[in-house]
Structure formats: C-alpha cells, structure tokens
Structure 1
Amino acid sequence: MGPYSVIIFIPVLASIVLFHIISWQSIHWWALALQMAWQTACHLWLLYKEYYLQEEITLRLFVMISALMLLTQKITTLAMDIDERKVKIIPVDGGMKNWFFSGSAQQILMFLSYLLFFPALLGGPLCSFVEFHNQVSESHRRNYPCFKQVTKGCLFALILQTLRILVSINISSQMSLLSCRHLNCVYTMWTTALLFKLSYYSHWLLDESLFRAAGFLKENQVDGFQATFYDADIWTLETTHKISVFTRTWNKSTANWLRRLIFEKCKVGSLLITFAFSAWWHGLYPGHVFGFLCWALLVKADYRIHKYFNPCQQSWCRRLLYRIFTWLQTQLIVAFLIMAIEMRGFKMIWLLCSSYNCFFPILYCLSLISFIKRKT
C-alpha cells in the first residue's frame, strides 16, 4: 500500500482512543458512524480521482480501499462485542509507568494486533476479537499449521483460475454486451458473471489457505470458530435454487456481519435497510445502489415464491421440474446482479435493462407485486 497505509492506521488508532473515552452503551453507534464517515470520504476521493480527474486507479489504491472496508468490519465487530459485554475495556489509570505494566496496555496491544492482522485485511474471513484472542492464546499448543488443508486450498484455487482463463478465452471470441442481440445477451451475461464468480471463489480459497498457514482454522474443528470462515461454499452457491440461500452463503462472513450489524437491529424494513447499507459500504457507485436494492426485492420475492409453490410439489416429477426452473432462474438473476454490481456504471445498467437479461428479475418482481396484492 505504501503511503496509503496511513489511511488504514488513522482509523485504527482513532478507534482505540474511542473505545476508552466513550461509554460501552453507545460505543457501537459511535464506532459505526465515525468509521463509515472515514470510509465514505475515501470512496468519494476515489470517485473524484476516477471520474473528475480521469486518473487511473492504481493497484495500491484498490488494495487500500479493500483493506479499509474489511477494517470497518473488524472495528464495528469489536465495538459490538464491547456493547454486548463480550469484551470489557480495562480503564487507563495511573501514571505512564503503571499504565505500561498494566492490563490496559496489554489489551490495547491485543486490539492493535486484531485490527491490523494482515491476513484478514488482505481479504480473509472475519472473526470476532474473542475468537482471535483464543486462537492466539492457544497457538503454542499447535506445532504446525494444517499443511494438507493449505495445499488443498491452493490447488483448488489454481484449478479455478485455470478454468477462469479457459472461460475468458471463450468469451473473447464471442460478442460482448455492447454488440450482442436477443438471447445471445443472456449467454454473454451469464458467462461474464461466471468469470467474476470464479475469481471470487479462487480468492476466498487463497484467503482461507493463508488463514490456515497463519495457524487459524484448525483441522477437525467443526463447530464455532471454523463454521464462520467458510466463505467459499462453492457447491451450495452453484446448486441452490433459492436466491435467499445464495445470499446467505455468498461471502458468508460478510453476510453474518451485516446480519448482526444491521438486520437484527432494525425493527422495520430490515431487509431493505441491510442491502442499502451494503451498497453504502461498497462505495455507492450507481451499479452498487441499483444492484443491491434489486437484490433486496428479489430476495423478498424469492421467499414469497417458494412459500407459495412448496405445497404444489407433490410428485417427484413436479419437484424436479420446479427445481430445474428455479435453479436456472436463480443462476440468471445472480448473473444479472453480479454484472450490475461489478461493472458499477450507468452504461452497464442500461445495457442490462434494455436487453433480454432484464426479463428474469422482472419476472420475480412481478410475482412479488402479485403476492402483495393477493395478500391485501
């Protein structure tokens, strides 16, 4: 990151100070507000450089903003742990000499270690401070990391990257969304979204392998700590016929963070508010706002549709046809959402909405409207 690392260090040090001057009852909202204000300012600075100054965003800037977004997760998670009394702040009392040898200094060092833990800032899964502390405390009992799991993760990531290259070669010889016509646009959208998904899957596997190499994600541990780290449940993501299941499984640690931070604390419109906050957290590009708000509506429609059609699946033939149709629908809707979110701009939104690709989300939205009217 080079000089941009200062943008990471400032909120880390500020959050440590905040934890010691704000009461534990209100620390959660203070940490969330200040960290999101800092992150939003950085996102606006990037938008200014990219669109107004027409400057190319360098790799260092991308790494910096990604690390800052993940740091937001860690700071707010620690603040929620303090708010829920899972972590208690040791007050800073006495002179400098007494403070240095006190438990407060040790706790601050642990906070710094947790917030600046580099495998997590590079894209690794999220864990709470308590889990991190327990893993570090027990590290002397483990003689070596799980090399078998690390090797397996790296091998799978290599296979996925190879598959991604093969798919990209095939796409390069096909039409793009700018020149495609009719049903060819659906195929182009699906294959392009597949490239993004393969890239995410391989990165998640490498991130998990890095965590294992650092001594985390112990082998033969099924419950608790390990269960929160499986961001790359590829089988579930690619075989599910429910958008809601895909949403809960996609980047599971971030989904759990959003559920705990926003969804469980909102009494009205929790689903829509959660996705709106996700768009804000991602940077408020036009594609982010459009994509995440559409995602919220489609998840709501997905709940209604499956609840309505479940009693109709009496025979195995009906169940099979229903699963095939809803699986195809889920795959194409997910491709639509990924394209809107990843491409970010108004131009891509217009290309998606003016082609056959918009048929699939519109079908679910019309179903949601019909269910609401029927209920009223």
Structure 2
Amino acid sequence: MDWLPLFTVYPVSFYQGASFPFALLFHYLCNKDSFSIQSRYLFLLAGGGALAVAAMGPYALLVFTSALCAMVLLSSLGPQDVHRWTFFFQMSWQTLCHLGLHYTEYYLQEPPSVRFCITLSCLMLLTQRVTSLCMDICDGKVEAASGLARNGSSWSDYVCKSLPYFSYLLFFPALLGGSLCSFQRFQASVQRSGSPSHHRRDFWSLGWRGLQILALECLREALSLLVSAGPGLEDCQHVECVYTMWTTAGLFKLTYYSHWLRDDSLLHAAGFGVEFGEEEYIPDADIWTLETTHRIALFTRTWNQSTAQWLRRLIFQRSRGCRLLQTFAFSAWWHGLHPGQVFGFLCWAVMVEADYLIHTFANGFIRCWPLRLLYRALTWAHTQLIIAYIMLAVEGRNLSSLRLLCNSFNSVFPMVYCILLFLLAKRKHKVN
C-alpha cells in the first residue's frame, strides 16, 4: 500500500545503488572479531547520516529533527505512553511537511523539489520504524528506552545503550526504502556472525535478484514504448481507455517491482534480509501472487507486504468499528492526502469489502469446476482492472487527473463491484 511519486523512484534507486558497496563492506566487517557491536551501530548510523545529506541536501535536517525528537520521546516516556505521543508527533511532523508539498504543487503551481520528495519518502519510512518500535515496547518485546536512563550509571553509559535505538531509526540500508525491519531483527542482524555457507547463499540470492531486476527493467522499457505510442486518458474513447489504463498501470507496477527488488537487495547485501531469531524476513514484492490472484483482498495483503502488516498492526487491529475504512483512511493520510490518494484509498477500501462478499457468495453458489474456472478468469481480469484504476487515481494525485479517470469508461469496473456490494450487503442483512 505504499506509493511514491514516480519521478522520485529513479533518484532514490541511484542513491540506493551508491550505498551498495558500503552495505557489502558492512557485511564483511561484521565477520571480523575486531569490529565491535558498538562500531557496527556507529557505522550504520554514520552511513545513514551521510546518505541523508547526499540524497536530500538541506532537507535532511527535517529527517534528523524527526529522529532526534522521536529519540527524546522514547527516552523520556514510559511503555504505556510512548506509542501515543510518538505517533502523534511523527504524524504531525510528517503532515506539516506534506502540507509544504501541497503548497508548492497546488498554490504556487510549481514542480516540487526531487530532494524534498525524497525527504517525505524517508519521513514516511521513519514513521514506520518509530511506531513499530513503540508498539514492540508497549507489547513488552523490547526494553523501553526510558529505562536506560534510570539504569545507566553515567551519561556516557546512557549514550552507548541508546545507540542501538538511534541507529535503528537512521540505518542506511533502510533509510530510503526496503521492507520494514523490526528492532528485534535489526539487533539480531547487527550482532550476528556469518559462516562461509551463509555467504554463498547471500551471493546466489543477490545474483538472482539482479537477474530479476534486469528482466523487469527490460519489460518496463518495452512497455513504456507502448504507453508512449498509445493515447492518453484525455484522448482515448470508450473501450480504448481500458487498454490505456491497463498498460499505464502495468508500467507503474513494473517500476515499483524493480524498485522494491533493489531495496531488498541492499538489505540483503548488508545482512538484514536473512532470518534471525523468531522473525522471518518479509519481502515487499511477491510478484507472482500480485499478478495471478483473483482476489482484491489478497492483492491488498501482498502489495508491499511489510507496510500492509504494519498498517494491520497499527490501525486495523486497534480499531473498534469500520476497521477497513479507518485503515485505508490512515493510509491516505500517511501518503499525504492528495485528492487522488484520498479517492484511491477509499475506493480501495470499498473494493476490498465488496471482494469479501462477492467471493463468499460465489464459493457457496458455484459448484462445478468449469464454472469455477470461468469465474476465476473473469474475477482475475476484473481484479487487475480495478487495481489499475486505483493505481492511476493514486499516482495521478491531483484533481485534473482524477477527473479524467472518473469520466473515462474505466469507472465501469469499480462501479460493478459497488453495485454488487450494495445488493449482497442487502441480501446478507435480510438473511440475518
């Protein structure tokens, strides 16, 4: 459920690629006895600071301020209060920065700075790590940082004990992208010691990811030629708009798949992508499931999996009523509350709700396998078209792009699910 403005994807990929040798160096040094645990945390923290300055320029101060304030709150609040106050601060700070982007784009009518957009992306990921850490503290999985100040005998001891927390917030392999890494897995990965067989597995894993990225980039280039040669939403007519939407959304998805695999490769190169302790590494891009599923709900859980699980834990499981709507509404807020994002995420929530009712009804009604096969084929196509519709709404972001999309023939596809949702909900209410 995580989208970035597409014009920021390639600069981010460049800086992630530039970080790759340092990730390999860190992985290599971790197998040296002379490279202490404290040195590892400092290496990751210094790398994060250098990467932030290189990618964001002066806007890096926004990230450093956020991380520093979050660390102050973590150090001063108890386990019962830390999540509420850090969540409030992080989302307030991030929202203020997003409002700055709104002011530039919609009021000044100027193109936003790429560095500022990268900063916003970094702040969104920082919010994930901060809230994940706070939830772990509340659940008793991680020692509260506030306890370090009471237990430490001196200021220097406190700084050393708080270094893992601060390093976790800004460590460079996950600063600009990548699957959400919990604090427990972060600590276990930093404190690990590798083996030769483990290094061989990492080598082949990185090589396989490199081949996947190359294949995706070739497909993306071929598809971009088709998109550029075809009509846009402002020029297409009727069914022709379906082709335009499908190919454009396919280009978006290939771009994100490639970007996620690069981020995944960087985390693996630094040693954060393997299993340690009780937690299994969750990749963001399960391409096979995303492209073959006929269920919108399954697509939703699989798209950017670590973010989907974070949203489930942060909002869905803590909400009492309208949990699905609250989760998607928060996702729109977290992404920046652009008009297209608000419409796209709320439409997504309605589509998931319809998906549950439609498939529950169909599983009890369709018995013979030829009809089931036909049903799966039709729902697969409809799922992909609805996701493409949502993707264009979210990526378009502004009102003019949203108006073009809503006035096109493509609005038929979500409308069908809305009608089915109304009819099946009414039927379910009568049965109850």
TM-score range, shorter chain: over 0.9
Corresponding letter in the other structure for 2:286: D
C-alpha separation between the residues in 2 aligned to 1:56 and 1:347?
A: 16
Residues 35-86 of structure 1: CA deviation (Å, up to 9, x unaligned): 0000000000111122222332222112111111000000000111111111
Higher relative contact order (CA 8 A, sep 6+): 2
Which residue of the partner structure matches residue 44 of structure 2? Answer: none
Residues 207-244 of structure 1: CA deviation (Å, up to 9, x unaligned): 111111001222xx5995334x2111000000000000
Residues 80-108 of structure 1: CA deviation (Å, up to 9, x unaligned): 1111111112331499x7231x3x33331
Which residue of the partner structure matches residue 352 of structure 1? Answer: 405
Q: Which of 217, 227, 251 does residue 161 from structure 1 map onto?
A: 217
Instruction: Specify whether residues 94 and 333 from structure 1 end up closer, same or farther in structure 2 by C-alpha distance, changes over 3 A only.
Output: closer
C-alpha separation between the residues in 2 aligned to 1:144 and 1:328?
A: 42
Which residue of the partner structure matches residue 171 of structure 2? Answer: 117
Q: Does 1:84 align with 2:133?
A: no
The more displaced of 313-322 and 289-298 is 313-322
C-alpha separation between the residues in 2 aligned to 1:211 and 1:169?
A: 32
Q: What TM-score does the superposition give when structure 2 sets the normalisation length?
A: 0.83
Q: Which of 98, 101, 106 does residue 154 from structure 2 map onto?
A: 98
C-alpha separation between the residues in 1 aligned to 2:178 and 2:193?
A: 19
Which residue of the partner structure matches residue 134 of structure 1? Answer: 188
Corresponding letter in the other structure for 2:97: C
Residues 340-364 of structure 1: CA deviation (Å, up to 9, x unaligned): 0011011122112112100110000
Contact 1:25 / 1:83 at 8 angstroms: preserved in 2? yes
Q: Does 1:343 align with 2:396?
A: yes
Which residue of the partner structure matches residue 13 of structure 1? Answer: 68
C-alpha separation between the residues in 2 aligned to 1:235 and 1:94?
A: 49
The more displaced of 236-245 and 78-87 is 78-87
Instruction: Specify whether residues 35 and 319 from structure 1 end up closer, same or farther in structure 2 by C-alpha distance, changes over 3 A only.
Output: same
Which residue of the partner structure matches residue 257 of structure 1? Answer: 310
User: What stretches of structure 2 of length at least 5 have no aligned partner?
Assistant: 1-55
Q: Number of aligned pairs?
A: 370
What aligned pairs does 1:224-263 form with structure 2 within 5 A after superposition?
Answer: 224-227=278-281, 229-263=282-316
Contact 1:139 / 1:215 at 8 angstroms: preserved in 2? no
Residues 171-205 of structure 1: CA deviation (Å, up to 9, x unaligned): 11111101000100011001000010000100111
What aligned pairs does 1:243-322 form with structure 2 within 5 A after superposition?
Answer: 243-322=296-375
What aligned pairs does 1:65-84 form with structure 2 within 5 A after superposition?
Answer: 65-84=120-139
The DSSP-based 3-state class of the residue aligned with 1:91 is: helix
Corresponding letter in the other structure for 2:149: V
The DSSP-based 3-state class of the residue aligned with 2:149 is: coil
Q: Which of 221, 243, 253 does residue 197 from structure 1 map onto?
A: 253
User: What stretches of structure 1 of length at least 5 have no aligned partner?
Assistant: none
CA RMSD of aligned residues (A): 1.7
Residues 121-163 of structure 1: CA deviation (Å, up to 9, x unaligned): 2111101111110111114567747121112112211211111
Q: Which of 77, 94, 102 does residue 22 from structure 1 map onto?
A: 77
Which residue of the partner structure matches residue 119 of structure 2? Answer: 64
C-alpha separation between the residues in 1 aligned to 2:168 and 2:78?
A: 21
Q: Which of 146, 152, 176 does residue 208 from structure 2 map onto?
A: 152
Corresponding letter in the other structure for 1:366: I
Instruction: Specify whether residues 163 and 94 from structure 1 end up closer, same or farther in structure 2 by C-alpha distance, changes over 3 A only.
Output: closer
C-alpha separation between the residues in 1 aligned to 2:389 and 2:361?
A: 24
The DSSP-based 3-state class of the residue aligned with 2:250 is: helix
The DSSP-based 3-state class of the residue aligned with 2:178 is: coil
The more displaced of 364-373 and 277-286 is 364-373
What aligned pairs does 1:181-192 form with structure 2 within 5 A after superposition?
Answer: 181-192=237-248
Which residue of the partner structure matches residue 99 of structure 2? Answer: 44
Contact 2:105 / 2:111 at 8 angstroms: preserved in 1? yes
Residues 311-345 of structure 1: CA deviation (Å, up to 9, x unaligned): 22322101110000000000100000000001101
Q: What TM-score does the superposition give when structure 1 sets the normalisation length?
A: 0.95
Corresponding letter in the other structure for 1:265: R
Contact 2:340 / 2:398 at 8 angstroms: preserved in 1? yes
